[in-house]
Amino acid sequence: MLYGGIAWNGNGYNVRVVDEPDGREVAAEEFPASGRSELVDYVAALQGGRDERLCLVIDSSNGMLDGTLMAAGLDVYRADPWQLPAPPEFGSPAAGELAEIARSNLPELARLEIGTGTLTGRLTELQKGIQETWPTEMAMIGAGHCIAHGSRREKRLALTFDDGPHPLFTDRVLEVLRRYEVPATFFCVGLHAAGHPEIVRRILDGGHALGNHTWSHPYLPDLTKDGLAEQVARTARQLPAGGGAPALFRPPYGSRSPDILSWLVELGTTTVLWDVEPFDWALPGAGVIAERVLADVRPGSVILLHDGGGDRSQTVAALPSIIERLLDDGYEFVTVDQLATR
């Protein structure tokens, strides 16, 4: 058996692989922010080039890789904060520590699944946290610090895309939007934006808006106040001015608590939620994605889709039929900041 840990930091990713039973390091590599594809190819080659099964471990602050790794046929596990040593000031626990916790305690880790994603085993906790924020959320909406949807009186809506930029799928999404002359809002992961600034520029040049989606796509309730502030600030520095409002912030997974929402107000962000979610990240099929969007959309809707975080070919394939039907139904597409102004 082989055990691999994948860590992130301000510059990219680290991979460490150890063996059983003595924990001897058998592979180690570093990848820049732009090197996600190379990272996946590297660990897939390790899996394919040996007889031993390879178990890969990320921690709950890393929501950037698991979908792509699982799509490549790799076994991915999540270690939670109470199972790990304290992380550094910015970054995940070290890759070697993640590999060792798997070697010594794999049955206690959550094995991730495509259908439930990074938060496999913590979805009940996620939903409980969301329910507990309702009074805070309503107060924030009233004060203009949170957007869940726009006016229900006008047939205007906002397409939004999370988890990019991605060197393949973001460009495909942009091409569809260009063809129909439809604007959208892209909530970018900071490490991805750092690795692909040219794609961020193409988003802006296409007339779209940018939003902040944290640096590493963490589960926010696991962060301290300072940790959240650093995730937001570093990502904001990667998003150039113009093209809307980089102060727009979307919490990964929609994860939140009353404290987190209050901290986000202190940071000067506007939290953006949604009211239409087809769960495209779970790969239900392009037809299902389109059907779910069209069944749930209403005037003022904010539609949540994804251009990164995994294989988004189904989302790209669903997009033309979604846009054509909504245009035929008389809807106007706007960016989130424009939706909030009326």
How many CB atoms neighbour CB 296 within 10 A? 13
The rounded distance, in Å, linking the Cα atoms of 89 and 53 is: 33
Contact 162, 337 (CB under 8 A): no
Of the candidates 275, 268, 311, the one whose C-alpha atom is nearest the C-alpha of residue 292 is: 275
Cis check: omega of the bond before 165, within 30 degrees of 0: yes
Indicate if 80 belongs to the active site: no
Residues contacting residue 19 through CB under 8 Å, at least 6 positions apart: 1, 2, 3, 26, 52
Catalytic residue (one of 59, 145, 149, 162) = 162
| SS percent in the chain: helix, strand, coil, step 5 | 40, 20, 35
Cα maximum dimension of the chain = 65
- Options 145, 192, 217, 306, the catalytic residue: 306
Measured distance CA(76)–CA(73) in Å, rounded: 9
Whole-number Å distance between alpha carbons of 311 and 306: 10
Residue 192 designated active-site:
no
Contacts 24+ apart (CB under 8 A), 178-182: 178/206, 179/320, 180/320, 180/323, 180/324, 180/327, 182/323, 182/333
Catalytic residues: 162, 306
